[in-house]
Amino acid sequence: MPITLIANNYGKSRVRVLKVTHHHASHDIAELTVNVQFEGDFDAVHLSGDNSAVLPTDTMKNTVNVLAKAWSGEQIEDFATQLAQHFLANNSQVRAVRIEIAQTEWTRMAQHAFTRGSDERRTTRIAATRTAVEIESGVENLIVLKTAGSAFEGYKKDRYTTLKETTDRVFATAIKATWTYRNPQVAFGPCWQQARAAILKTFIERDSPSVQHTAYAMGEAVLKAVEDITGIRLSLPNKHCLLIDMAPFGLDNPNEIFVPTDEPHGLIEVSLQRR
């Protein structure tokens, strides 16, 4: 049986760039980490070692820097689109370009001074060919915790089940959400703010009978709040905070002292779509 190259892609990952935009009285900053990936007709590279179709990944990095200069410094979706269009326009050997951008959070302290925010990232991913473009934006590592309004009971038990049912637990998670925009003309900034707000409002206000139920409710809230979003995927690790048993010390522990843990952790994922 012959061996076939059925798929290939290449590019540059973790291209970091800091753009400073100079206004009259103050500066804005945007810190990004960018991934670039090409797909196309690269059989000769793989099979015969002919590199003539390969734009170096080092050039991809340079291009990120150069195009960052022309970019407004505002919506990462615009920058990703500009990169994708540039690469497609100048590389006929490339069939599809994928650009991923994650934006680091900085908070202004003064006109020219900033402090680093949380590890939450605003993200986007553009998958573009010469005839189509798909835009998926979202958040990752949005860490939240609530100390009331979360339960987990009535679940299936088998002979290996030792977990105790609870009507009141700590619920902590690091939300990753990615949603798809209806088209490339939507107002990226406001849509992103509204989607994020809908997720947080759901977390705060809705009682949680399970992480699954909360994840679905978050997705539903985003789709109801933002007409220009057509689908959403949420990934919620259950970062367990375990209630410490103080009976051996003759003490009760009415949801006061917990041990936060990193591993193992639950992982709950849902995808919702308008139909």
Residues serving a catalytic function are 12, 57, 240
Determine if 53 is a binding residue for a second copy (CB under 8 A).
yes
* Of residues 164-193, those binding a second copy (CB under 8 A): 170
Binding to a second copy (CB under 8 A) within 214-273 occurs at 215-216, 219-220, 223-224, 231, 237-238, 241, 244, 246, 248-249, 251, 253-273
Provide the token pair at 164.
């105790």
User: What's phi and psi for 76, nearest 5 deg?
Assistant: -65, -25
Examine residue 25 and tell whether it contacts a second copy (CB under 8 A): no
**Which of 84, 128, 135, 211 is close enough to bind a second copy by CB under 8 A?**
211
Among 24, 104, 25, 36, which residue's Cα sits nearest to residue 67?
36
Q: Which positions from 87 through 106 interact with a second copy, judged by CB under 8 A?
A: 90-91, 93, 106
Spatial CB neighbours of 197, under 8 Å, sequence gap ≥ 6: 225
**CB under 8 A: which stretch of 44-52, 75-83, 128-136, 187-195 binds a second copy?**
44-52
Please tell me whether residue 163 binds a second copy under the rule CB under 8 A.
yes
User: What's the Cα-to-Cα distance from 160 to each of 169, 185, 261, rounded to whole Å?
Assistant: 22, 52, 21
The amino acid sitting at 237 is: P
- Binding segment for a second copy (CB under 8 A), chosen from 60-68, 123-131, 132-140, 181-189, is 60-68
Task: Write down the least CB distance from residue 103 to a second copy, Å.
Answer: 13
The dihedral through the CA atoms of 79, 81, 83, 86 has a sign that is: negative
Residue closer to a second copy by CB (options 131, 164) is: 164
Give me the sign of the Cα torsion angle 102, 117, 230, 79. Answer: negative
